[in-house]
């Protein structure tokens, strides 16, 4: 092998080794957890001890800018609540947690799509302006009962907004 070929092979191999060492050190040193700022955490074993998730459902919001808070708990092939009614035109903050494995939280025919990971509170704010039923599905394979993991959000007209028949 020519002298210059050996030099370039050494530079290429050395660069690859350096890159892999840096990648390995940064992965182990920094960990694989999300940044702590703005992310709420909750231990999966204590989800039911939190007042928000002890009885999941729709509640009037104390958060400025939202009319309602909608709390969901994902676990072992089901969402709680299985069905919820939301008044039309409401600004809703959804908070979803899981007690077991990673789940997906997708509201079909909307742009709502979240990963629900153990230890984190996934939050999404949205307006429900159109009356109808919206299917909630788990779009992250979570086990044999994955396809049965659904819920329904029913958007209903606000009282007094119903059309005269």
Domain boundaries of the chain, sorted by first residue: 1-30, 44-156
CA distance 129 to 58: 16
Nearest of 78, 95, 104, 92 to residue 155 by alpha carbon: 92
CA distance 35 to 68: 27
For 72, what's the count of Cα atoms within 13 Å in the CB-facing half-sphere? 32
Q: pLDDT of 82-115, one tens digit each?
A: 999 999 999 999 999 999 999 999 999 999 999 9
| Cα angle: 98, vertex 102, 103; to 5 degrees | 75
> Backbone phi, then psi, for 120, in 5-degree steps?
-125, 150
How much is the pLDDT for 165? 40
How much is the pLDDT for 164? 43
Q: Which segments of the chain are extended strands (E)? A: 58-60, 68-75, 78-80, 83-87, 90-98, 103-107, 113-116, 122-128, 132-137, 150-156
The highest-level CATH class for domain 44-156 is mainly beta
Mean residue pLDDT across the chain = 88
- Residues of the chain falling short of pLDDT 50: 164-165
- Number of Cβ within 10 Å of residue 95's Cβ equals 20
How much is the pLDDT for 143? 87
């Amino acid at each position: 092998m020519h002298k210059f070929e050996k030099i370039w092979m050494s530079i290429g191999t050395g660069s690859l080794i350096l890159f892999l060492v840096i990648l390995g050190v940064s992965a182990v040193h920094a960990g694989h957890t999300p940044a702590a700022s703005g992310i709420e955490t909750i231990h999966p074993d204590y989800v039911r001890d939190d007042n928000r998730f002890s009885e999941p459902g729709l509640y009037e919001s104390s958060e400025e800018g939202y009319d309602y808070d909608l709390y969901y708990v994902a676990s072992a092939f089901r969402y709680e609540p299985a069905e919820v009614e939301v008044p039309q035109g409401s600004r809703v903050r959804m908070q979803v947690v899981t007690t077991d494995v990673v789940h997906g939280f997708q509201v079909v025919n909307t742009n709502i799509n979240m990963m629900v990971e153990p230890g984190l509170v996934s939050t999404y704010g949205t307006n429900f302006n159109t009356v109808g039923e919206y299917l909630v599905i788990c779009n992250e394979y979570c086990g044999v009962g994955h396809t049965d993991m659904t819920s329904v959000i029913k958007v209903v007209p606000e009282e007094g907004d119903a059309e005269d028949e």
